[in-house]
Chains A and B, each alone.
Chain A
Amino acid sequence: MASEKTVYKKPKSLTDVNFTYCWGCGHSTVHKLIAEIVDELNIRETLIGVAPVGCAVFAYDFWNFDVTEAAHGRAPVVATAIKRVHPDKTVFCYQGDGDMVSIGLAEIMHTANRGENLTVIFINNTNYGMTGGQLAPTSLMGQVTTTSPRGREAALHGYPIKMAELLTQFEGVKYIERVKVTDAASVIKTKKALKKAFLNQINGVGFSFVEVLSSCPANWRMDPVTANAHIDKNIAAYYPLGLIKDVK
């Protein structure tokens, strides 16, 4: 009988609940990467997460560590308070683009400006997923959504906000990287970036921010393969990938 060797298993930091995200959605991938990192850094028992309002509102169903909900857009200030109460714990928030860049812009900007020692994970899929694919501040020019049937127009909607670049000006922000999860290589890069954002907090470096370009095939009306190609070709062209700020 051939001996068996475990080469892959579910992270301890995931519950047994199956992901309920749509086919091709980037959330499941990023959720799993976070769980793997939490296991690898051995911080499951000292970690507190803050979930957003939006598609990832149920993130706490899938993660087996402490998680609180936050009102729409308020995750960074809820996380701020948790970190101030428990400075010895690792605290992160996980937000989508409607949550962070629209209703929660004040919260993320001031939290960044205060230089809170937090890990912030930003999932940018250029629309409001949960509510049915409405226009977000991050939607691309010309993007057709359920509230921009003629496509995004500058005169009506302005231009897409580049959140990662916007945050670079704050002295208190120490690390910003933009990544994607469209293929194996980019998933590995994303994991590296997320891990660094957690390690920065543990090492007291300060506010660390990872923006993940993530696909939303259901609302984009695309199959998953085409959706990933859309990120590679169009979205990443507007939102450049790579390291944006890294203060040692």
Chain B
Amino acid sequence: MTTKSNEKVFIKGNHAVVEAALDAGCRFYAGYPITPQNEIPEFMSKRMHEEKGTFIQAESELISVNMVFGAAAAGARAMTTSSSPGISLMQEGISYMAGCELPAVLVNVMRGGPGLGNIQPSQSDYFQATRPGHGDFRMITLAPHNIQEMYNFTFDAFDLADKYRNPVMILADGLLGQLMENVELDRSRKPLYLNTPKPWALTGAKGRDGQRILSLLMQPGVLEKHNFDLKKKYDLMTKDEIKFEAQGMENNPDYLIVAFGTVARISKGTIRLAAEEGLKAGLFRPITVWPFPYAQLKEAAKKVKKIFVLEMNMGQMLDDVKIAVEDASKIEFYGRPGGGVPTAEELLKFIKGKVK
């Protein structure tokens, strides 16, 4: 195997996802066309062939996600990608993978909804990412805010999926999918657990009895125990995998912006503009929107006068912020639904209107 050196490339978020998946050892992809993530299956069809892996253009999102289920059951690192309406269809397979404890990576390049909505950037799927599917299960969900993170987090997602034998979602949006930025591809990064044996995988019962991948547990008490066992796993994720970024907290800010993904990066511009006008604001950016950094946000929110929750939806992460902070009366919410992307100036104007 040749050692590859790192590469700096100017690429789209959707392309960064492909490079990260392949660098992380993913050799199975199934996906279905939907805007604004089409560059992923398009580019993947070319790159996966070069890496001698399997690319399948599935005939629906139900088919993509169930192909990923099959590939994961067979022991492969597998991924599918889609955008909001397609993710709704995939919730079936996500729940089955959680129940069967199968590792897989899903990327959601969110667009406006409900229904067919539009194809503009949106954060309308915070709920269906952090409260996914049917049944009592959880899924680590990482929210990148630039193209470097689209690459890094997609890579991380494969390691996390294998570490916990659970699906992991990347929660991006149309802006991050389409945006081109400079990215360092870490070609020397070693995937964790890639070569760790998967004794549970179905590879043929050589020298042993047959084994099963299943989530159907009908005997009295067995499913209840399974759910308790899963909870232990989710507790470990909550203990060890929470990621967030806090900016400007060292200046004891008067105001705290809580935002994720695209809105978080725009908010950084708002904070810069606010400083020019003498307003001291900090940013708290959940990177894992599940597990949500409740304790860390509670701490960051203690001393501020107001908390501004800013989202490209009508208040979804807002619920988690309310759970986290002690005094919900300090919270102000501003949302742009249906594909609206706020500007830094627009957010500043809202904040100024509330602090007068």
- Given A70-B69, A86-B74, the answer on whether A81 and B30 have CB atoms closer than 8 Å is yes
**Partner of A48 from B54, B74, B216 at Cβ < 8 Å:** B74
Which B residues between 68 and 105 are near A, CB-CB below 8 angstroms? 68-71, 73-76, 78, 92-93, 96, 100
Judge if A45 is at the interface, Cβ distance under 8 Å. yes
Does B221 make an interface contact (CB < 8 A)? no
Query: In this assembly, does B211 line the interface, its C-beta being within 8 Å of a C-beta of chain A?
Result: yes
Judged by a CB distance under 8 angstroms, whether A156 is at the interface is: no
Residues of A within 8 A of B63 (CB): 74, 77, 106-107, 110
> With A and B bound together, what is the CA distance between A67 and B206 in angstroms?
13
Residues A85 and B60 in contact, CB atoms below 8 Å apart:
no
Contact B70 A82 (CB under 8 A): yes
Confirm or deny: A148 has a beta carbon within 8 angstroms of a beta carbon on chain B: no
> Which of A56-64, A183-191, A236-244 lies at the binding interface?
A56-64
Any B CB within 8 A of the CB of A245: no
Given A60-B210, A60-B214, A67-B210: A78 and B202 interface contact (C-beta under 8 Å): no
Question: A40-77: contact bitstring with B at CB < 8 Å (1 yes, 0 no)?
Answer: 00001111101000000110100111111111001001
Do the beta carbons of B216 and A74 come within 8 Å of each other?
Answer: no
B66 and A77 form a contact (CB under 8 A): yes
Q: Do A81 and B69 have beta carbons less than 8 Å apart?
A: yes
A52 to chain B, nearest CB (A): 11
Contact B67 A45 (CB under 8 A): no
Contact of A82 among B92, B100, B202, B214 (CB under 8 A): B202
Which residues of B from 197 to 256 have beta carbons under 8 Å from A? 202-207, 209-216
Could you mark each residue 81-112 of chain A with 1 if its beta carbon is under 8 Å from any beta carbon of chain B, else 0? Answer: 11011100100000000000000001100100
A46-B206, A78-B66 as given contacts; A69 in contact with B75, CB under 8 Å: no
Decide if B205 touches A79 in the complex (CB within 8 Å). no
A84:B205 contact, CB within 8 angstroms: no
Chain A residue, CB-CB nearest to B75:
A85
Whether the Cβ atoms of A81 and B93 lie closer than 8 Å is no
Instruction: Flag if A48 contacts B202 (CB, 8 Å).
Output: yes
Chain B residues contacting A80 (CB-CB under 8 Å) are: 56, 67, 70
Are B71 and A71 in contact (CB-based, < 8 A)? no
Q: For residue B76, which residues in chain A have a CB less than 8 angstroms away from its CB?
A: 81, 85
For B, the interface residue count at a CB cutoff of 8 angstroms equals 38
Q: Is there contact, CB below 8 Å, between A78 and B54?
A: no
Chain A, residue nearest B209 (CB): A64
CA distance in complex: A46, B214 (Å): 19
Inter-chain CA distance A178–B194, complex, in Å, is 44
> Is B28 in contact with chain A by the CB < 8 A criterion?
yes
- Residues of chain A within 8 A (CB-CB) of B60 are 106
Name the 9 nearest CB pairs between A and B, nearest first: A81-B70, A78-B70, A68-B213, A74-B66, A85-B74, A65-B210, A81-B71, A66-B202, A81-B67
Asked whether any CB of chain A lies closer than 8 Å to the CB of B299, the reply is no
Specify which of A74, A84, A86, A106 is in contact with B203 (CB 8 Å cutoff): A86
User: Closest A-chain residue to B93, C-beta based?
Assistant: A71
| A contacts, CB < 8 Å to B | 15, 44-48, 50, 57-58, 60, 63-71, 74, 77-82, 84-86, 89, 106-107, 110
A contact residues around B210 at 8 Å (CB):
15, 44, 60, 63-67
Q: Report B312-340 CB contacts with A as 1/0, cut-off 8 Å.
A: 00000000000000000000000000000
Complex Cα–Cα for A86 and B210 (A): 16
The answer to whether B209 and A78 touch across the interface, beta carbons within 8 angstroms, is no
Contact of B59 with A by CB under 8 A: yes
Complex formed: what's the CA distance from A82 to B93 in Å?
Answer: 15
Instruction: Find B54's partner among A60, A67, A84 (CB 8 Å cutoff).
Output: A84
> B204: which of A58, A64, A69, A89 is its contact (CB, 8 Å)?
A89
Query: Taking CB as reference atom, which chain A residue is nearest B78?
Result: A81
Q: How far is the CA of A162 from the CA of B75 in the complex (A)?
A: 36
Cβ contacts A to B, 21 pairs, < 8 Å: A15-B209, A45-B206, A48-B203, A60-B212, A64-B205, A66-B204, A66-B210, A67-B212, A69-B215, A71-B96, A74-B63, A74-B93, A77-B67, A81-B28, A81-B54, A81-B78, A82-B73, A82-B202, A84-B56, A106-B62, A110-B59
Known: A69-B216, A78-B67, A78-B70. A85 touches B28 (CB 8 A): yes
| CB-contacts of B36-81 with A (<8 A) | 54, 56, 58-60, 62-63, 66-71, 73-76, 78
Smallest distance from the beta carbon of B81 to chain A beta carbons, Å? Answer: 16
Query: How far is B60's CA from A65's CA once the two chains are assembled, in angstroms?
Result: 30
Shortest C-beta distance, A215 to chain B (Å), equals: 24
Asked if B205 and A82 make an inter-chain contact with CB atoms under 8 angstroms apart, the answer reads no
CA distance A141 to B63 in the complex (A): 31
CA–CA, A78 and B78, complex, Å = 13
Q: Are A81 and B68 in contact (CB under 8 A)?
A: yes
Residues on the B chain within 8 Å of A81, using CB:
28, 30, 54, 56, 66-71, 73-74, 76, 78
Q: Which residues of A contact B216 (CB under 8 A)?
A: 57-58, 69
Are A45 and B92 closer than 8 Å at their CB atoms?
A: no
